[in-house]
Amino acid sequence: MTDTGSLLTSLECRACCTTVDPERPVGTCPTCGHTLLAAYRLDRLDGPAWWDSLLARPPMLWRYAELLPVRRAESIVTLGEGYSPIVRLRNRPEFPGLTLLAKSDDLLPTGSFKARGMAVAVSRASELGLRDLYVPSAGNAGIALAAYGARAGLRVRIYLPDRTAPTVIETCRAYGADVVTVPGTIREAGATARSQESGHGGFDMSTLREPYRVEGKKTMGFEIVEQCRAGTLPDAIVYPAGGGTGLVGMYKAFTELRTLGVLDRMPRLYAVQPEGCAPVVRALRDGASAVTPWDHPSTVAPGLLVPAPFASERILEAIRGSGGGGTTVSDDEILRAMEALAGEDGVWVSPEAAAPRAALPRLVREGALRSGETVLLYHTGSGLPFSLGQLRASLDRGPP
């Protein structure tokens, strides 16, 4: 067996300070039920020297092996994920003085940033002996778990809202996963999944309900810092927030790199949510420590239809700790942003991924983004499964 060099030491709960042994399968904190986060022996790394050594490693997320949880190279389940390009977008007169970049996770295996979290989580699950996995999903996470589960030879069940696009359901089944459709949103899909799976031995791979998807998402932050080493680190990252794991992961990455002496400042993180489902933005504006569930959620962006994200305390902590904030956009603005990115920059992304572009006018108007700054828009998913005409038609019909 080949050791990856992982410096994983424990799983820690920030809510009650419980420490858990990482060498056995575990979901949430056994004491209080909150999220567990992986801790590493950062003191064993010479940060700058380690950072420089990455230049000789393959361009994939596993290059950060010391700060990922998988201990044996043989346990890694990979489709070549990670190290997506950062591209510069055209300067726009309506955003004077802003340099706009985009991180293109729409180009990852399975077509979205969910490949990062599931690659790491499935690898660690397999390493710990788990053979039966399930997840409630709005779409992309289900596709990613189905793909990586197939790669690892594991049993997978996906619980999807019944409004999920048929192409998503068909894709999950093509990978060999069992699919269960549930009336409602991902909130109802999650409740059904946990009820039906209780006592049957399946392991819940839900966002922030298991410890390792966030470690895969952490590589988003590592890559941004590494890819910008020859230029300017973004002043701000604008991110579409559904379950919010990417915000938690990037904040964790920046915090670890600062501890290692690699980073002296971190970008401000801005969460973008649709007007019809914005529990995180509402909590930010209310000064709340956690979200309250959003009543009657609706949006054309299925990945942002998350009325009550789990572990919202960690999401809000990441945004506030970075000095960032949040804003909302209308569904019409999201669709117009999809058209603008395609027509002006040759980039066709999902409605979720277009939300940061849609938010730019408001963030500039509110003074969150200022002339002279570099702003990175996080493109979380591909637009290939989507038809703009069908999205427009669903918008005209209104909420189901």
One domain, residues 299 and 177: no
**143, 116 Cβ separation under 8 angstroms:** no
Is 372 among the domain residues? yes
Say if 60 falls within a structural domain.
yes
- What is residue 399's predicted lDDT score, i.e. its pLDDT? 59
CATH at residue 222: 3.40.50.1100
Between the alpha carbon of residue 2 and those of residues 24, 59, 65, 71, 74, the distances in Å are 20, 20, 12, 8, 7
Residue 328 backbone dihedrals phi, psi, to 5 degrees: -115, 160
Residue 396 has pLDDT above 80, yes or no: no
What integer pLDDT is reported at residue 391 of this predicted model?
A: 83
Residue 210 has pLDDT above 60, yes or no: yes
Tokens of 44: 């064993």
Domain that holds residue 184: 114-204
> 244 in the Ramachandran plot: left (φ > 0), alpha (ψ -120 to 50) or beta?
left
Q: How high is the pLDDT of residue 282?
A: 98
The answer to whether residue 199 scores a pLDDT higher than 90 is no
Quick one: pLDDT at residue 358? 97
Q: Domain check: are 191 and 330 in the same one?
A: no
Same domain, 240 and 340: yes
Dihedral sign, Cα of residue 363, residue 368, residue 373, residue 377? negative
Of 385 and 311, more confident:
311
pLDDT tens track for 238-290: 999 999 999 999 999 999 999 999 999 999 999 999 999 999 999 999 999 99
Q: pLDDT at position 91, please?
A: 87
Q: Cα–Cα–Cα angle for 2, 213, 65, nearest 5°? A: 30
Cβ neighbours for 98, distance < 8 A, ≥ 6 positions apart = 91, 92, 360, 364, 369, 371, 373, 374, 375
| Segment 180-191 mean pLDDT | 94
Query: What pLDDT sits at residue 97?
Result: 93
Q: Which tens digit of pLDDT belongs to each residue from 76-133? A: 999 999 999 999 999 888 899 999 999 999 999 999 999 999 999 999 999 999 999 9
Residue 347 domain-assigned (yes or no): yes
Q: What percent of the chain has pLDDT over 90?
A: 90
**Domain boundary residue, one of 204, 239, 258:** 204
244 & 267 share domain: yes
Mean pLDDT (the chain) is 95
Is pLDDT of 307 > 60? yes
User: Does some domain include residue 81?
Assistant: no
The answer for residues whose C-beta is within 8 angstroms of residue 247's C-beta and 6 or more apart is 239, 241, 269, 271, 315, 318, 319
Tell me the per-residue pLDDT of 264-276, one tens digit each, with 9 for 90 and over: 999 999 999 999 9
**262 and 393 together in one domain:** yes
Q: Are residues 267 and 319 in the same domain?
A: yes
Query: 335 and 235 share a domain?
Result: yes
2 domain residue, yes or no: no
Given 52, 75, 98, the domain boundary residue is 75
Residue type, 227: Q
pLDDT in tens, 122-172: 999 999 999 999 999 989 999 999 999 999 999 999 999 998 989 999 999
- Per-residue pLDDT, 93: 86
Enter the tokens of residue 194.
């946990």
Total domain count, the chain: 3
Compute how many other C-beta atoms are within 10 angstroms of the C-beta atom of residue 90: 9
Do 346 and 387 fall into the same domain?
Answer: yes
Higher pLDDT, 399 or 66: 66
Classify residue 131: in a domain, yes or no. yes
- Domain boundary (23, 55, 75) is at 75
Q: What is the pLDDT of residue 389?
A: 81
**Does 1 reside within a domain?**
no
400, pLDDT greater than 60: no
Q: For the purposes of burial, counting CB atoms within 10 Å of the CB of 163, is it exposed (0-12), middle (13-18) or buried (19 or more)?
A: middle
pLDDT at res. 296: 94
* 99 and 122 both lie in a single domain: no
Q: What is the pLDDT of residue 230?
A: 61
Residue 69 shares a structural domain with residue 93: no
pLDDT of residue 398 exceeding 90, the answer is no
pLDDT tens, residue by residue, 311-358: 999 999 999 999 999 999 999 999 999 999 999 999 999 999 999 999
In a domain, 3, yes or no: no
Residues 261 and 365 in one domain: yes
Residues 296 and 103: their CA atoms lie apart, in Å, by: 32
Same domain membership, residue 158 and residue 144: yes
